[in-house]
Amino acid sequence: MIWVDTVLQGVLLGGLYALFALGLSLVFGIMRLVNLAHGDLIVFAAYLILMLVTLLGLGPFVAALIALPIMFGLGWALQRVVLNRVLGTDILPPLLVTFGLSVVLQNALLEGFSADSRRIPAGWLETASLPVGPISLGVMPLLTFLSAIGVTLALQFIFYRTSLGRAFRATSDDPVTASLMGVKPASVFAQATGIAMVVVTIAALYLGTRANFDPTTGPARLIYAFEAVIIGGLGSLWGTLAGGVIIGVAQTVGAQINPEWQILAGHVAFLAVLLVRPRGLFPRAFD
Amino acid sequence: MALLETRGLTAFYGDFQALFGVDLTLAEGETVAVIGANGAGKTTLMRSIAGVIRQALGMVRFDGREIGAMAPDEIMALGIAMVPEGRKLFPSLSVEENLLMGAHRRKVAGPWRLETVYDLFPILKERRGQPGTALSGGQQQMVSIGRALMSNPRVLLCDEISLGLAPVVIRDIYAAFPRIRETGASIVVVEQDIGQALKVADRVHCMMEGRVTLSGRPEELSREAIHDAYFGAAA
Amino acid sequence: MAAHYTVTTRTTASQIAAAAALVLLAVAVAVPFIASRSLIQDLFFILTMLTLAQFWNLLAGYGGLVSVGQQAFVGFGAYMLFGGAILWGVNPVAGLLLAGVAALVLAIPTAFFAFRLQGAYFAIGTWVVAEVVRLSVAQWKAVGGGTGTSLPRDARDAMWGAGWIEGAFDVRASEARDILTYWLALALAVATIGGIYWFLRTKRGLALAALRDNVGAARSVGVDSERMKWVVFLVAAFGTGIAGGLIFLQNGRISPDSAFSVIDWTAFVIFIVVIGGIGTIEGPILGVLVFFALQTLLADYGAWYLMVLGALGIAVMLFAPGGLWGLLSGRTGVQLFPIQRRLNRHD
């Protein structure tokens, strides 16, 4: 029974990792951009929610709702002002610029909020749990996982059922021809990053309510997110969700064997998948 | 007054000059063919008009407006649609989604919408759900033309639509042109296939090495004159 | 009259630079005779960072391999030096070679995994490997596990050459070790720059430059890009491992967090290369000086210092992708380490 519990907890934890990863997956799928500041942006959003909660006395979910448009705007502006300038065939400039952004963000947070670890208070929800047979599942982990499924569905809908999603896919295929259809790639990319930041904010809500975070928490989240994306297959949203779950389960199983092995087990699972399926579990037909 | 006009159009790829002062006019409702060998600058001319090549100097005027400095999406929104060389369908989009992309920005009521495009090329309706790249070359070309029509353009730029297609397929595609002309669109056809070009065009420009070497009505031009303009007088 | 052609890579500036470099090297060797201990420590820091920067530049600037996991090789090399000294009594100076070889061996499976990832994902792939190595080393109880350890006293005392320096300079043992590690760092930096410069001028090195400029074209003239990537990655790991060993030999203490720090051994190094000028040998040299000046000026401001550094890196990438050296060289045409061969005509 302990193993069933362990795996279930891992699946739910995987929902959190999937939320970390979905924004990264979206941006990569559309503009082949790997944002090394992705993890730090999640932490930044967590501080934003924390500020709204503590300064305005809001509940965490209402605070996240307010943070959503703010983060969308920040993502949009980041893409418009900085990242669009460095997109191109050379992968070096976007990597270095986002790496620089990561360092700037971490240290700005350090300056603003000190190195103390924080947590977004969620009241009774923090400890609430649902008994499922002999196992008890935390309400927050359950909400996290359901949100991950919800975000995947929503992104899937945007991608395949709306004219914006059509423009995303067309621009990803061929930006020059897309511009002949009246698409402005710079603006499409800005909207994509804005949407990615909305996902980042949702991820931040659960990151911040479930565990402590501090300004240096970001890079590790980036790595989990990245692993989930690669395991799932680049550009596949459901694959990313599956990748998150695999990392989550590997971590809880590893921790069950030896608590010190939790993180290591996740990385090892990633390397194992990379060894067997270099293009991930659900690779796109073409790239 | 001409609907579309270029004067002294000059274009570069890096240091390489591809166009040397090209003058072209297109009247409302007219079809103009631009013929010439590979590398004569025909595609460059189309791409410069559409705004894809930003290193173009000289004047491009559309409906009384200078458009030379505009971005391709803005030019497209004014009503100049392009059928690009190589068809350039979006591989992640289905046939129908490819067509819908044509009307992504410019949503103008007019003769062309999904039903009328399917009417023009019935085979596309059967294949509407398939990925564009699963189609034959000729069918892909139909999608590319239909996609450009979806914006109800005032000017349709067709770049090398017969390239790589079998003669019977080319004939089928050109059979659609009278119906496109009937709707009032002005058309520029860039072709290496002189025969097709002369059949549909009101006027013909022949290009060689980045310059227009011969212009006139198809019936006025002798085979010899075209041959010289196409291959150079010495050939 | 027939014209004669000769092919040279030398320029007037490069000849002056070569002469100046020899003088500078002589001065650098002699520094311990006159300088204070803190200056020697500063110079040690500059030289080791310069070495790391040159190797990262070889990877990213010439090889197109943007690694953010070089801390794996710094840390693993350093840990092998400590492990060798603690477990098997390897002399720390000889342990430097062990550090390099260990990093080289680690680079083989790292490359095997990371090369499966395309482009930008390669970067994070190397970072994952570095994390795996950090977490694994933290399980190695003999070298202190997660908390780390110090270099044992007898290993420190046994360092080759330290005793001689102690007598010759009439200094305390700790100061003698600083002088020894400084000389080693100087030798390593000179060997690194000389070696990379030599390599870039060989046929293979030119092929590497061709590969950076255009993979397709380079392949069409017969450059084996996969093999070049392996060579560059392994060489960079070897040198980075030695530098890592040396840094922690001088430090005397090691822990997983310090040895595998992505900020210290990768972020700083990247900023040095980017600010100085990526894809040139001169760039990292200029970059490390700017970096040291900034650190000296802003060290008291903690987080602000890193923010300035990060912002400067972003600004350079956006507005002057060639870095400071690119600006300087573009204005004046000066090249200290010319690589292109030029055709000279003599009538």
Domain map of chain A by residue range?
Answer: 2-114+140-276
Contact call for C317 and A102, based on CB within 8 A: no
* Tens digit of each residue's pLDDT (9 = 90 or more) over B97-112: 999 999 999 988 899 9
CA–CA min distance B90, chain A (Å): 6
B155: left (phi over 0), alpha (psi -120 to 50) or beta: beta
Q: Nearest 10 degrees: CA dihedral of A10, A16, A17, A21?
A: 150
Out of A93, A104, A263, name the one closest to residue C321 (CB).
A93
**pLDDT bucket at B228, cuts 50 / 70 / 90:** confident
Residues of A with CB under 8 A from a CB of C: 32-34, 36, 82, 85-86, 91-97, 99-104, 106-108, 110-111, 219-220, 222-223, 226-227, 230, 234, 260, 263-264, 267-268, 270-271, 274-275, 278
The reported pLDDT for the residue numbered A274 is 87
**AA identity, residue A40:** D
Q: Is the model's pLDDT at B230 over the cut of 80? A: no
CA–CA min distance C29, chain A (Å): 35
A162 close contact with B: CB closer than 8 A: no
Residue C83's nearest CA partner among C239, C233, C244 is C244
* Tens digit of each residue's pLDDT (9 = 90 or more) over B108-155: 889 999 999 999 999 999 999 999 889 999 999 999 999 999 999 999
Q: How many Cβ pairs within 8 Å bridge chains A and C?
A: 118
Please write down the long-range contacts of C301-304, taking CB distance under 8 Å and 24 or more positions apart: C302/A110, C302/A111, C303/A107, C303/A108, C303/A110, C303/A111, C304/A107, C304/A111
**Tokens representing residue C233 in the block:** 């990655």
Q: If you average pLDDT over every residue of chain A, what do you get?
A: 93
Q: How many Cβ pairs within 8 Å bridge chains A and B?
A: 67
Q: Is the model's pLDDT at B197 over the cut of 60? A: yes
Higher local confidence (pLDDT), B235 or B107: B107
The reported pLDDT for the residue numbered C211 is 65
Tell which CATH classification among 1.10.3470, 2.60.40, 3.90.550, 3.40.50 matches the domain C4-339: 1.10.3470
Q: Is the model's pLDDT at B37 over the cut of 80? A: yes
Q: Which residues contact B145 (CB under 8 A, 6 or more apart)?
A: B83, B121, B158, B161, B173, B176, B180
**Tokens representing residue B89 in the block:** 């369908």
Q: Is the model's pLDDT at B200 over the cut of 50? A: yes
Q: Which positions of chain C have pLDDT values less than 70?
A: 1-3, 7-8, 10, 210-224, 340-347
Q: In which domain, by residue range, is B43 found?
A: 4-231
Residues of A in contact with C120 (CB under 8 A): 32-34, 91, 94-95
CA A114 to chain centre: 24
Residues 147-206 of C with CB under 8 A from A: none
Helices C37-57, C282-298: crossing angle, 10 deg rounding: 130
Return the bridge partners of B163, or none: none
The reported pLDDT for the residue numbered B72 is 94
**Tokens representing residue B214 in the block:** 């011969």
Tell which CATH classification among 1.10.10, 2.70.98, 1.10.3470, 3.40.50 matches the domain A2-114+140-276: 1.10.3470
The reported pLDDT for the residue numbered B85 is 93
The reported pLDDT for the residue numbered C220 is 55
**Tokens representing residue A164 in the block:** 């914006």
Alpha helices in A181-217 (DSSP H): 185-210
Other CB atoms within a 10 A radius of the CB of residue B25 amount to: 17
The reported pLDDT for the residue numbered C203 is 80
* Tens digit of each residue's pLDDT (9 = 90 or more) over A196-226: 999 999 999 999 999 999 999 999 999 999 9
Residues 181-200 of A with CB under 8 A from B: 181-184
* Per-residue exposure over A180-219, b if at least 16 CB sit within 10 Å of its own CB, e if not: bbbbbbbbbbbbbbbbbbbbbbbbbbbbbbbeebbbbbbb
Closest-approach residue (CA) in chain A for C266: A99
The reported pLDDT for the residue numbered C118 is 76
B151 close contact with A: CB closer than 8 A: yes
The reported pLDDT for the residue numbered A70 is 98
Instruction: Report the distance separating Cα A45 and Cα A201, nearest Å.
Output: 6
Question: B31-36 and C4-8 as β-strands: parallel, antiparallel, unpaired?
Answer: unpaired
Instruction: Report the distance separating Cα A76 and Cα A95, nearest Å.
Output: 18
B196 close contact with A: CB closer than 8 A: no
Q: What is the CATH number of the domain that holds B133?
A: 3.40.50.300
Instruction: Report the distance separating Cα C294 and Cα C271, nearest Å.
Output: 12
Q: Is the model's pLDDT at B194 over the cut of 90? A: no
What's the length of chain C? Answer: 347
C311 close contact with A: CB closer than 8 A: yes
Q: Is the model's pLDDT at B175 over the cut of 60? A: yes
Q: Which residues contact C174 (CB under 8 A, 6 or more apart)?
A: none
Task: Determine the average pLDDT of the residues in B183-208.
Answer: 90
A128 close contact with B: CB closer than 8 A: no
* Tens digit of each residue's pLDDT (9 = 90 or more) over B153-171: 999 999 999 988 999 999 9
Q: Nearest 10 degrees: CA dihedral of C121, C126, C127, C129?
A: 130
Instruction: Report the distance separating Cα C210 and Cα C220, nearest Å.
Output: 11
> Is the separation of the CB atoms in C252 and C151 below 8 Å?
yes
CA–CA min distance C165, chain A (Å): 41
Q: If you average pLDDT over every residue of chain B, what do you get?
A: 90
**Tokens representing residue A214 in the block:** 């501090």
C-alpha distances out from residue B223 to A208, B184, B200, C173, Å: 78, 30, 17, 97
Subunits with at least 3 CB pairs below 8 A relative to chain C?
A
A131 close contact with B: CB closer than 8 A: no
> Is the separation of the CB atoms in B152 and B109 below 8 Å?
yes
Q: Is the model's pLDDT at B91 over the cut of 70? A: yes
Q: Is the model's pLDDT at B44 over the cut of 60? A: yes
* Tens digit of each residue's pLDDT (9 = 90 or more) over A21-54: 999 999 988 998 889 999 999 999 999 999 999 9
Contact call for C310 and A101, based on CB within 8 A: yes
> Is the separation of the CB atoms in A77 and C248 below 8 Å?
no
Task: Determine the average pLDDT of the residues in B31-49.
Answer: 91
The reported pLDDT for the residue numbered C302 is 80
Mutation choice for A interface testing from C317, C318, C319 by most A CBs within 10 A:
C317
How many domains is chain B partitioned into structurally? 1
Instruction: Report the distance separating Cα C155 and Cα C162, nearest Å.
Output: 11
CA–CA min distance A114, chain C (Å): 10
Instruction: Report the distance separating Cα A172 and Cα A31, nearest Å.
Output: 6
Residues of C in contact with A96 (CB under 8 A): 66, 270, 274, 313-314, 317
Residue C240's nearest CA partner among C48, C22, C87 is C48
Cα angle value B5/B10/B13 (rounded, 5°):
130
Chain C touches chain B, with at least 3 Cβ pairs below 8 Å, answer no
Residues of C in contact with A91 (CB under 8 A): 66, 119-120
